């Protein structure tokens, strides 16, 4: 009924003019576009020398070349694979631990102090240890990324579950839902928004950790491309790799945000 | 369902109810004492409610009205005295047959009306079966929300949300339905509608009801008996029988007189 009223009010009144509001999202492109122009002018005018920063066009050509030769897709595919596996693992383990500590006071007292201090270890500090333990193969990289993705998920879900409205828990108790049912029907849905905030943060960190892993020990991947660009003194490759990370990271963030909006926004 | 048993005992027969309350009460409270840390909230509360009876508990704020309901519904595990529903102590599962409508609707705001009502289904009913679905839809109809089964709580008005909460309590098919000031947040007109609505549902289903309220007019209009709670710690100050046939007229002289009696018992 409420929705009826809303749709009605929208159709009443004069026919809507093409609204400026529709183009509002495009405003976000204005500043980046201006920066690209400034970038081009600075390099073209010689204010910044081309061996330090190539022109935008040069970067685009390099990217196109890498794509045409097929080299690019291999790097992107392996990086995306690492992020997906690592973030998946981190989100899964973070969900398990977050649920446990959110529900059980004992689990929280046992685990939370440790996990809270582990989260403060910078990502790069793990790299040597993981290389030592798991070699330079995929395992080390995926696990490193999983560590990164784990913490935001764990922290958000744990707090989210602990913060579920006491009043709703009383409802579950009065109607004898039992532990499993009240978890399934009350606690987890109530904590879902927190979980999704955690997942968004976790996926963001997964991209940070994949760079750390690939910069140091990889023979393929966008991070490797980045460090290869430095070795070969090819600033165009470096900038192209950075832009690739920006693009891929944004895509995953938009995807997670979309999922969140669908599930929670309603 | 207990509606068959009530068919030959009209709910308005307050005398018969009071008599059977002494014989075999659905709800029996003897010498209830409830302490929160240093504060004694309730002391020596006695109450017996017969099957199908509508009892209102009134009292000033802070007299332990809500505490009483929390004890009855099994939300408070520690207290002194005896509290039994259908002969079983509430600490030994007696509270399993008690449903509660809280002061706030307390709905799951991510779930639609149907799912919210289904929360009240007893544990042995699988909510995914067709029979359970029909039962839920029936109740939604019963509380006058037909057509809103798929609405979410934020699309409902306060009065409608409270009726979802009532349907949830009825889905539980409780021996005793507790209502904790369910209408206190509603405006006057909505409140009167909801009260009449509650009476209809009660008369139709014959559920035993204990309503806590601070509204004397509401208590006298609705109940077979009004229990006046007062003092600190709270205790039963007096019990007023409302021996007036339903449907009642809110302006009825006898009702107004009883209202005055309850108000005086409250010490106002």
Quote ipTM for the complex: 0.82
Contact (Cβ atoms closer than 8 angstroms) between residue B185 and residue B169: no
Separation of CA A17 from chain center: 38
| Structure token pair of residue B54 | 């509508």
- Averaged pLDDT, B241-255: 89
How many other CB atoms are found less than 10 A from the CB of residue A20?
7
The answer to whether the CB atoms of A174 and B104 lie below 8 A apart is: no
The residue in chain B having the minimum alpha-carbon distance to the alpha carbon of residue A177 is: B123
Interface check B110 vs A, CB under 8 A: yes
pLDDT tens digits, one per residue of A70-120:
999 999 999 999 999 999 999 999 999 999 998 888 999 999 999 999 989
Which residues in B lie closer than 8 A to residue A264 (C-beta atoms)? 110
Separation of CA B3 from chain center: 17
Helix or strand holding residue A156 (H, E):
helix A138-162
Best residue in A7, A165, A169, A174 for a mutation probing chain B (most B CBs within 10 Å) = A174
Nearest-CA distance A87 → chain B (Å)? 27
| Structure token pair of residue A57 | 């066009």
Fold of A56-265: MetI-like fold (1.10.3720)
Nearest-CA distance A6 → chain B (Å)? 12
Nearest to B108 among A168, A170, A176 (CB): A168
Length of chain B, in residues: 268
The residue in chain B having the minimum alpha-carbon distance to the alpha carbon of residue A6 is: B155
Greatest Cα pair distance, chain B, in angstroms, is 53
The answer to whether the CB atoms of A167 and B102 lie below 8 A apart is: yes
Who contacts B163 (Cβ-Cβ below 8 Å, separation ≥6)? B143, B144, B145, B194, B197
Which residues in B lie closer than 8 A to residue A173 (C-beta atoms)? 74-75
How many other CB atoms are found less than 10 A from the CB of residue A243?
14
| Residue-averaged pLDDT of chain B | 86
The residue in chain A having the minimum alpha-carbon distance to the alpha carbon of residue B120 is: A175
Nearest to B123 among A168, A178, A185 (CB): A178
CA distances (Å), B261 to each of B47, B240, B242, in order? 20, 8, 11
| Structure token pair of residue B253 | 């002289």
Rounded to an integer, what distance in angstroms lies between the CA atom of residue A158 and that of residue A105? 11
Which residues in A lie closer than 8 A to residue B120 (C-beta atoms)? 175
The answer to whether the CB atoms of A175 and B119 lie below 8 A apart is: yes
Per-residue model confidence as pLDDT tens for chain A (266 residues): 444 444 444 555 556 666 777 788 888 889 999 999 999 999 999 898 888 899 999 999 999 999 999 999 999 999 999 999 999 999 999 999 999 998 888 999 999 999 999 989 887 788 888 889 988 889 999 999 999 999 999 999 999 999 999 999 999 999 988 888 888 899 999 999 999 999 999 999 999 999 988 888 788 999 999 999 999 989 999 999 999 999 999 999 999 999 888 887 64
Q: Please say if the pLDDT value at position B242 is more than 60.
A: yes
CA distances (Å), B176 to each of A244, B93, B207, in order? 65, 14, 7
Report which DSSP code applies to B208: E
Residues 52 to 81 of B: which have CB under 8 A from any A CB? 73-75
* pLDDT value of position A37: 94
Q: What is the strand order of the sheet B98-101 is part of?
A: B98-101, B176-180, B208-213, B54-58, B225-230, B235-241
Note if the bond before A189 is cis, omega within 30 degrees: no
CATH fit for domain B3-106+175-265, picks 3.40.50.300, 3.40.50.720, 3.20.20.10, 3.40.50.1100: 3.40.50.300
* pLDDT value of position B232: 79
Q: Please say if the pLDDT value at position B18 is more than 90.
A: no
Residue % of chain B over a pLDDT of 70: 91
| Structure token pair of residue B227 | 């229990």
Closest of B102, B86, B90 to residue B34, by C-alpha:
B90
Contact (Cβ atoms closer than 8 angstroms) between residue A40 and residue A56: yes
Rounded to an integer, what distance in angstroms lies between the CA atom of residue A186 and that of residue B64? 28
B80 has which bridge partners?
B33
Backbone angles phi, psi at B227, to 5 degrees: -100, 120
* pLDDT value of position A50: 83
How many other CB atoms are found less than 10 A from the CB of residue A36?
14
**Residue located via tokens 């002061």:** B103
B34 has which bridge partners?
B42
pLDDT tens digits, one per residue of A124-147:
788 888 889 988 889 999 999 999
Per DSSP, chain B holds a count of helices (H) and strands (E) of 9, 10
Nearest-CA distance A110 → chain B (Å)? 27
Q: How confident is the model at residue B201 (pLDDT cuts 50, 70, 90)?
A: confident
Backbone angles phi, psi at B165, to 5 degrees: -60, -35
Best residue in B88, B106, B172 for a mutation probing chain A (most A CBs within 10 Å) = B106
CA distances (Å), A122 to each of A14, A52, A154, A158, in order? 58, 29, 17, 21
Any idea of the CA torsion for A93, A99, A104, A108, to the nearest 10 degrees? 50
Helix or strand holding residue B211 (H, E):
strand B208-213
The bridge status of strand B176-180 relative to strand B98-101 is parallel
Nearest to B119 among A185, A190, A264 (CB): A185
The answer to whether the CB atoms of B120 and A3 lie below 8 A apart is: no
Report helix, strand or coil for B237.
strand
């Amino acid at each position: 009924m409420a929705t009826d009223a809303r749709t009605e009010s929208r159709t009443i009144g004069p026919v809507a003019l093409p609204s400026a509001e529709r183009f509002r999202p495009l405003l976000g492109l204005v500043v980046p576009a201006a920066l690209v122009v400034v970038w081009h002018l600075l390099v073209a005018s010689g204010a910044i020398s081309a061996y330090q920063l190539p022109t935008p066009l040069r970067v685009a050509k390099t990217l196109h070349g890498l794509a045409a030769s097929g080299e690019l897709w291999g790097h992107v595919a392996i990086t995306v694979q690492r992020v997906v596996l690592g973030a998946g693992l981190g989100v899964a383990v973070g969900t398990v631990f977050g649920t446990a500590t959110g529900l059980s006071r004992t689990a929280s007292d046992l685990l939370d102090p440790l996990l809270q201090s582990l989260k403060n270890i910078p990502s790069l500090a793990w790299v040597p240890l993981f290389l030592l333990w798991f070699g330079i193969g995929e395992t080390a990289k995926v696990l490193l990324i999983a560590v990164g993705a784990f913490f935001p998920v764990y922290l958000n879900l744990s707090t989210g579950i602990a913060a579920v409205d006491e009043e709703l828990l009383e409802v579950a108790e009065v109607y004898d839902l039992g532990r499993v049912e009240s978890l399934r029907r009350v606690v987890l849905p109530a904590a879902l928004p927190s979980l999704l905030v955690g997942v968004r943060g976790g996926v963001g960190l997964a991209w940070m950790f994949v760079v750390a892993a690939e910069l140091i020990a990889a023979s393929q991947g966008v991070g490797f491309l980045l460090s290869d660009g430095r070795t070969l003194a090819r600033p165009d490759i470096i900038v192209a790799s950075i832009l690739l990370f920006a693009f891929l990271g944004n895509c995953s963030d938009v995807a997670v945000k979309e999922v969140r909006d669908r599930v929670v926004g309603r | 369902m207990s509606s068959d048993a009530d068919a030959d005992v009209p709910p308005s027969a307050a005398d018969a109810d009071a008599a059977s309350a002494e014989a075999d009460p659905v709800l029996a409270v003897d010498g209830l004492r409830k302490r929160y840390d240093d504060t004694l909230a309730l002391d020596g509360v006695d109450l017996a409610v017969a099957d199908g009876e509508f009892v209102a508990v009134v009292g000033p704020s802070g007299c332990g009205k809500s505490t009483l309901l929390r004890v009855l519904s099994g939300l408070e595990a520690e207290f002194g005295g005896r509290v039994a529903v259908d002969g079983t102590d509430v600490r030994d599962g007696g509270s399993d047959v008690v449903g509660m409508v809280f002061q706030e609707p307390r709905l799951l705001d991510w779930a639609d009306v149907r799912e919210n009502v289904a929360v009240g289904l007893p544990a042995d009913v699988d909510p995914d079966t067709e029979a359970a679905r029909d039962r839920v839809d029936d109740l939604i109809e019963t509380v006058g929300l037909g057509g809103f089964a798929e609405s979410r709580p934020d699309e409902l008005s306060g009065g409608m949300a409270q009726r979802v909460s009532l349907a949830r309590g009825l889905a539980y098919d409780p021996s005793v339905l507790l209502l904790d000031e369910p209408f206190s947040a509603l405006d006057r007109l909505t409140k009167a509608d909801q009260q009449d609505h509650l009476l209809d549902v009660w008369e139709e289903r014959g559920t035993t009801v204990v309503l806590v309220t601070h509204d004397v007019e509401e208590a006298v209009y609705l109940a077979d008996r009004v229990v006046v709670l007062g003092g600190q710690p709270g205790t039963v100050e007096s019990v007023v029988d409302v021996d007036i046939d339903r449907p009642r007229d809110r302006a009825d002289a006898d009702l107004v007189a009883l209202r005055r009696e309850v108000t005086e018992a409250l010490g106002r």
